[in-house]
A = this chain, B = another copy of it.
């Protein structure tokens, strides 16, 4: 079905144009008209693919989330220990590289937009609850497998792991370096897990993406 593929490709091109507008000019400027200009398309063409600005933003966010999942999956190739799974996942959620920075900024803007848009709020809430449940499942399994001490509270530990995304603001404002963010993540995970799979900071630095 080449037509369907083209449709999808064209929507993705528009989504990428939207990312660039958000990255360079900010969320406020991400109107359908400006995105059309950036994509080298007419406003009518963009409106053909997305009936509303919200539909365009939603698709761009979902596409960004797919990209993040893809990067996480790539980072997890050959990784089995739950400590490494959490480390790779957290590192990809932080704005440490151009691609993760773009999706991180999209996400921050989207969360802000959701605060006064009930439909977006429900959608984002459900997505984040689902992600949180996956992390809690991983932590419960790590406790069952003896990787995390049995007296840890899985719900509390899940919230603490997810709170590490709060390093985003420090990174975006150049208050700390990427290496400091990774050191903080490693320190937290070292205290969460019984035994880090690899010891020594040198070995850990090698895994830096």
Contact = CB atoms under 8 A, between A and B. Distances in A.
A175 B112 contact: no
Given A115-B105, A125-B174, A187 B149 contact: no
B124 A173 contact: yes
Interface centre among A152, A164, A170 (most CB of B within 10 A): A170
A114 to B, nearest CB: 7
A30 to B, nearest CB: 10
Interface centre among A28, A149, A174, A209 (most CB of B within 10 A): A28
- Within the oligomer, what is the number of copies of this chain? 2
A141 B208 CA distance: 21
A24 B206 contact: no
A155 interface: yes
Interface in A176-191: 176, 180-181, 183-184, 187-188, 190-191
Interface string A141-162: 0000000010111011101101
Contacts of A24: 116
A175 B135 CA distance: 13
Contacts of A162: 166-167, 170
A168 interface: yes
A26 B173 contact: no
Given A24-B116, A160-B184, A111 B170 contact: no
A188 B184 CA distance: 13
Contact of A175 (B23, B129, B168): B129
